[in-house]
Amino acid sequence: MIQIDVLRRKNKEEPAYLQSFLYEPKEPSETVATALRRLNEQASLTDKEGNRADPIVWENSCLQKKCGACAMVINGRPMLACDASLSALKSPVRLEPLRKFPVVADLMVDRSILFQNLKDLNAWLTADADPSEKKNPDAYEASRCLQCGCCLEICPNFAVDGRFYGMASMVPAARLLVQMPEKEKKELAAEYKRHVFEGCGKSLACQDICPAGIDLQGLMARSNAAAVWRRLLWKKRN
């Protein structure tokens, strides 16, 4: 039997409270996502004290760490619920919503800022991508970002209304910087410099947190080169 403590909140106006549930995994390979699904499947969910409880609100979609929906803070660490093996977690398992984003209810948060920031960056191609093979590895790696927000949760420099957009913007921008023809890069590069390059302390706390295992350090180094250093050098030379 595992104890699962959930930080609950009916909606953003109501106060938060901790509620404990007891859960018996049926299989050794179960994750936090399995537990949440099975708890919610019970005809009447009761907490540890035997009180009736409303179903726990959380987001999910793929259940195989490919969509980023289920990101939450598990025992203090931002993770995907469908990636968090129960057997590897200390009991009681404590589930909290990501703290950097406004709470909608229980474990569900409003991550609209992720998409807003990308719009702000002008994160799109303005001309056909450079199709050459050698761009493929970086373009592939940088296409894998889940927009889950785990990296932002851990980042000391990111805040929802701040100027620094974090790795969740760096990765999509990296794809575009790698594939854009040189002469098209100016606008995106300027935004990138302002919202990504200038705010990052490079402690790389985010690297180990990224559930997609994206090579953040490598992508960032190359994007910095493409958006900032190469342009500086180029300017100096001319």
Partner 1 sequence: MKRINIAGAGLAGLSAALTLAKKGIGCNLISVQPSERAQSVLAEGGMNAALDTMGEQDSPTFHYEDTMKGGVYLADPNAVRGLTSAAPEIIRRLHAIGVPFQMKDGELVLRPFGGQKKRRTAYAMSSTGKVAMTALIDEVRRFEASGLIRRYPHMEILSPAIEENRCTGLLARDTFTGECFMFRGPVILCTGGMNGLFSGMTTGSTANTGDVTAAAFVSGAALGNLEMIQYHPTTMTIPGKRLLVSEAARGEGGRLFVERTDPESGRTENWYFMEEKYPELGNLMPRDVVSREMSMVTQDPSCGSRVYLDMRHLSRETWEGKLADLRKEVIHYLQLDPAADPLPVSPGIHFFMGGILVDEQHRTSVADLWAAGECACQYHGANRLGGNSMIAAVYGGHVAAENAAEMVLRHTDPERTGNEPDEADAVSCGKMSASDEAQQMLSPAFAGQVQRFLAEGLPVFRSEENMQKALQGLEDLWTEALTEREKRRLLLARAILLSALSRRESRGAHTRTDYPERDDKQFRKTTAARFVNGEIQIGFQEIPKDRQEGEE
Is residue 201 a contact residue for ligand SF4 (CB under 6 A)?
yes
179 touches partner 1 (CB under 8 A)? yes
Binders of ligand FES in range 22-61 (CB under 6 A):
33, 60-61
What letters, b where the CB count within 10 A reaches 16 and e where it falls short, cover 57-78?
bbbeeebebebbbbbbbbbeeb
Nearest to 213 by CA among 62, 72, 65: 65
Q: Omega of the bond prior to 55 within 30 degrees of 0, cis? A: no
Burial class (CB within 10 angstroms; exposed 0-12, middle 13-18, buried 19+) of 110: middle
Would you say 216 and 196 are in contact if contact means Cβ atoms under 8 Å apart? no
74 interacts with ligand SF4 by CB under 6 A: no
Window 113-142: residues binding partner 1 (CB under 8 A): 115, 118-119, 122-126, 128-129, 131-133, 135-136, 139-140
Q: Which residues of the shown chain bind ligand SF4 in the complex (CB under 6 A)?
A: 68, 145-151, 154-155, 157, 166-168, 171, 200-206, 210, 212, 214
Q: Which residues of the shown chain bind partner 1 in the complex (CB under 8 A)?
A: 26-27, 29-31, 33-34, 37-38, 40-43, 59-69, 83, 104, 110, 112, 115, 118-119, 122-126, 128-129, 131-133, 135-136, 139-140, 143-147, 172, 175-176, 179
